[in-house]
Structure 1
């Protein structure tokens, strides 16, 4: 609501300034009359009062900006009767603040998406029946029914014989995990198998998922906002401006020269051109599938030297893929995939869907399976083309057909075997893993070229799997077995090397994304919570889109810096000319408008940035 009110207030100030200047000019051209001066004053006063209020608020917060120069020029112009010059400055200033406010946007929104993932109600066992209860009514000791596809609303202990849980949103582990009776179930985990009972261990407010929400909120609150780019030069510029104005008045005795100096000094090129360049950069980055949530994140993105990467869904694809098909019997690889995929159509398991997708990718037409029986967490059996097929975990399938146990020690870490048997005979094994994204080594090299000097991987996965996946990538460090709060701590620790950018896609990454100087979320398939917490969202499922986003940010910031230098340089030159009496206040205001046009045209070059990567 505050942001909406701010937008409306700045729009109103711009409208008042524009109306005052326009109406006053119309009255002046209509003939000699004192009404033009009155209208100009009426248009300037509201803008000046609003400006003075903002200056007082900024000084109270310990901030110091170039707005003071604008206030001095408008005030001096009114005091010494240069009302037209004051009206022009008021329009320039109100237009600049309006554009800057537009550039900022709404970079932060409430974490409603994060909370929405957990159901507001749960199914509880009570006296032999089931009842729907509100989340806040769940107490330790209650017994809940978690149906297939449900998200565990609270932390608890598994009260059924087994359960198959997708914990990727919490730990980054891409493969569903099978739990046995008595093992812990974390809130935020999705049930990928059959329904199970959960013995409640903690209230909802004290559970893991609620803790992640609090981490995000705390991290966002602790991140200090960046100051405007132009304001960094404000103190020196103000000293030079006041010194020239006082000197011009002191040595000539003409206060109008001081007014002319102040009017020319009004830093509208900086107020206008800088946000224009940054907004243009934001628009250009969006063209390459990178959504940057405002001017401040773009400026920060251009200065990052340390990168923290999540593994699952970021460096890796985040979905199980077929790595290899190992034949055991007489069936070919295509036949093994055909029978497995046909039967797996009856399952919602992520690996089952990956096998079906792989068959479709190869153009295989799959028949409808019959007599399907699914053993939750183990596998399926059924008929395909009149033949009996069993697909599932290696131990389950071998037990069903009486085959010897499989030694998996020779397979890559992090891989999973899906065994296939046809007509009671073991046909082969489908090796599945969460594969590294294609082109990752080249992407890492390009990140180095763009100025990233330190790259660290942070994951909740096992260390052995993390090190295997990143082998040969040349990362500076690998941190594994991390909880969400440990990821936040890692980001804060890495700040000793400079500003930190964190890239992730899961709910477990959201706190670290919020804590980093720049948080980047994979928005195509990532959790909504991470997209909300992040400063930058990659809109397509390709991490290499980060490269053009960074290059656009760097070049847009460079153009903005050019605008600062050119704007200040031309303003100082105009101030000197005004101090010697060669510019009246109105002429100075018009000159400043010409300077505005020059630096804004330069800033718009950011719309034509063509990244090299």
Structure 2
């Protein structure tokens, strides 16, 4: 309601200014200058009154802004008989505020699009039929129908059929992705393929999209630190303005020159161009899968000099991946993968799930296992297609069919060896490892190219594992076997080298994320605690999304600084010209209006920032 009231007030003030200025001009040309001046006075007073109320409110809140200059210029113009100049300043002020509100609305449009896509109901299977239920009524385990064009309402897994989903609202990726049965699906994706069933795994308020919406709403309410920084210079700028106006009056004994200086120095919309640029940057970053929690975080992100990375789930994939297969004589790689993965469908162990995913990715047709029996933490036994199959640790398999003569395979630190037995024979071994994310070497190089001076790995894993994973990477420091409080200490220690960005995805990373100047969480699969503590959330499970986020932040900050320095520079030049008598008060008001509109439009360029990393990727 408050926003609607403010919007109506801005429209009313702008309407008064436009009608009053035009009516006065008509009276002037009709030969009634006295009525024209009176009309311009009536035009100025409501705008001036609203401005004074706003200034008093700001001062009570401890904020000091350049709106005071606008109030002084209108007051001085009325006192010294420059009613037309006062009316032009009133139009400039009200029009600038309205333009600013329009600009901020334009900058937030992409975020509003995100919010407007929140589904309110879901189609749930019930008693052999379908019923449309409120989203709050959906419980984990419910089976939902996702029709073509529907937005996935809750997190879940594909329960029937194959799903083709548009993830652009979450990740910024234009190409739809295919999901197989039992694949996890995030809420907020749009179904672009045929209808499919979704098995809900979370309630609506706990799902990914609901969390994203909450973060977006929080981001929209933030105030940019650069705007506060600009306000800190308000007193100095006001002092310069008053001094120059007084000097011009004193030197020439002409108060009109002082009025002209004050009118030219009215940069009220100018300072508001800073949050426009930063809010536009927030919106632009969201399109690339980077949710920044407010303008403060964006401004800091643009100045990062030290990057601290967690290992598991951040620098690495965070899940086991098959890296090598060793096959005994008499068996083929496809055969042992098919039989082992078919049996592992009966297990929820991460290694078993990784094997099943790998087999499916290779196009192997898995079959249901029979008489499957799992020994937690050891392995699984059962029958697949008439074969007796064992999958598990070397000891688990050896206890049942004897020692494995090939069990001396050399493995990297941190990898896991899985033995396979088929029909009482050793069939082969599978090596799983948490592998480095693809493109990490290039990513680190690009990060240094945009101003990151120092890159550090901080992990709770063993030294041998950390060294094996980071071999050949361009890192300045590797710290291993760290507890959460030791990670915090590392972050605090690195502050001496400049603003610190910490990237992590686990609960143990949350304290360090909160301690860093800017904390970045891997939000797709990371812990809720890390996403809550972080200032930035990567909506897709890819570390390289941090790069366009930083580039957009730098671009938005640069555009904001341009708006400030160019706008104030032009204003100062106009003030000097006015003090020398080259600009009248009316001309000064028109000149400042042009300057203000130009810097606001310049700030909106942040909506079109294209990160260098994305241009390079497109070129490749």
Superposition pairs of residues 169-318 of structure 1, within 5 angstroms: 226-228=225-227, 230-231=230-231, 233-268=233-268, 270-318=270-318
Answer with 84-93 or 530-539: which moved more. 84-93
Superposition pairs of residues 422-437 of structure 1, within 5 angstroms: 422-437=422-437
Other-structure match for 1:398? 398
Other-structure match for 1:17? 13
Counterpart of 2:258 in 1: which secondary structure?
helix
Instruction: State the alpha-carbon separation in 1 of the partners of residues 486 and 16 from structure 2.
Output: 57
* Mapped contact 1:55–1:67 kept (Cα < 8 A): no
* Mapped contact 1:502–1:518 kept (Cα < 8 A): yes
Task: For CA contacts below 8 A with separation 6 or more, give which structure has more relative contact order.
Answer: 1
Other-structure match for 2:330? 330
Q: 2:56 aligns with which of 52, 57, 63?
A: 52
Instruction: State the Cα deviation string for residues 347-403 of structure 1 (Å, max 9, x = none).
Output: 222221111110111111111111111222222111110111111222222223232
Cα separation, partners in 2 of 1:67 and 1:315, compared to 1, 3 Å: farther
Instruction: State the alpha-carbon separation in 2 of the partners of residues 78 and 398 from structure 1.
Output: 98
CA shift at 1:261, angstroms? 1.5
* Mapped contact 1:99–1:276 kept (Cα < 8 A): no
CA shift at 1:454, angstroms? 0.5
* Mapped contact 2:394–2:404 kept (Cα < 8 A): no
Kindly indicate whether residue 363 of structure 2 is the aligned counterpart of residue 367 of structure 1: no
* Mapped contact 1:523–1:531 kept (Cα < 8 A): yes
Superposition pairs of residues 67-86 of structure 1, within 5 angstroms: 67-77=67-77, 82=83, 83-86=86-89
Cα separation, partners in 2 of 1:42 and 1:604, compared to 1, 3 Å: closer
Cα separation, partners in 2 of 1:307 and 1:282, compared to 1, 3 Å: same
* Mapped contact 1:269–1:563 kept (Cα < 8 A): no
Answer with 532-541 or 317-326: which moved more. 532-541
Cα separation, partners in 2 of 1:466 and 1:76, compared to 1, 3 Å: farther
Number of aligned pairs? Answer: 490
Cα separation, partners in 2 of 1:395 and 1:366, compared to 1, 3 Å: same
Instruction: State the alpha-carbon separation in 2 of the partners of residues 104 and 491 from structure 1.
Output: 33
Instruction: State the alpha-carbon separation in 2 of the partners of residues 71 and 104 from structure 1.
Output: 30
CA shift at 1:101, angstroms? 7.6
Instruction: State the alpha-carbon separation in 2 of the partners of residues 92 and 231 from structure 1.
Output: 21
Instruction: State the Cα deviation string for residues 77-116 of structure 1 (Å, max 9, x = none).
Output: 56556441452353256448757987799x9xxxxxxxxx
Other-structure match for 2:448? 448
Instruction: State the alpha-carbon separation in 2 of the partners of residues 535 and 299 from structure 1.
Output: 11
CA shift at 1:430, angstroms? 1.2
Instruction: State the Cα deviation string for residues 240-264 of structure 1 (Å, max 9, x = none).
Output: 2121111122233444432332221
* Mapped contact 2:404–2:426 kept (Cα < 8 A): no
Q: Name stretches of at least 5 consecutive residues in structure 1 with no aligned partner.
A: 108-223
Counterpart of 2:472 in 1: which secondary structure?
coil
Cα separation, partners in 2 of 1:318 and 1:75, compared to 1, 3 Å: farther
Cα separation, partners in 2 of 1:576 and 1:419, compared to 1, 3 Å: same
Other-structure match for 1:378? 378
Other-structure match for 2:147? none
Other-structure match for 1:544? 544
* Mapped contact 2:304–2:498 kept (Cα < 8 A): yes
CA shift at 1:294, angstroms? 3.2
Instruction: State the alpha-carbon separation in 2 of the partners of residues 58 and 13 from structure 1.
Output: 24
Instruction: State the alpha-carbon separation in 2 of the partners of residues 409 and 71 from structure 1.
Output: 81
CA shift at 1:36, angstroms? 5.7
CA shift at 1:493, angstroms? 1.5
CA shift at 1:564, angstroms? 2.2
Instruction: State the alpha-carbon separation in 2 of the partners of residues 352 and 387 from structure 1.
Output: 19
Counterpart of 2:374 in 1: which secondary structure?
strand
Instruction: State the alpha-carbon separation in 1 of the partners of residues 7 and 323 from structure 2.
Output: 57
Instruction: State the alpha-carbon separation in 2 of the partners of residues 493 and 99 from structure 1.
Output: 44
Superposition pairs of residues 485-504 of structure 1, within 5 angstroms: 485-504=485-504
Q: 1:90 aligns with which of 84, 89, 93?
A: 93
Instruction: State the alpha-carbon separation in 1 of the partners of residues 4 and 420 from structure 2.
Output: 65
CA shift at 1:438, angstroms? 0.9
Cα separation, partners in 2 of 1:8 and 1:348, compared to 1, 3 Å: farther
Q: TM-score, normalised by structure 2?
A: 0.71
Q: TM-score, normalised by structure 1?
A: 0.72
CA shift at 1:45, angstroms? 1.4
Kindly indicate whether residue 467 of structure 2 is the aligned counterpart of residue 467 of structure 1: yes
* Mapped contact 2:93–2:269 kept (Cα < 8 A): no
* Mapped contact 1:16–1:43 kept (Cα < 8 A): no
Answer with 592-601 or 469-478: which moved more. 592-601
Instruction: State the alpha-carbon separation in 1 of the partners of residues 16 and 315 from structure 2.
Output: 56
CA shift at 1:39, angstroms? 5.0
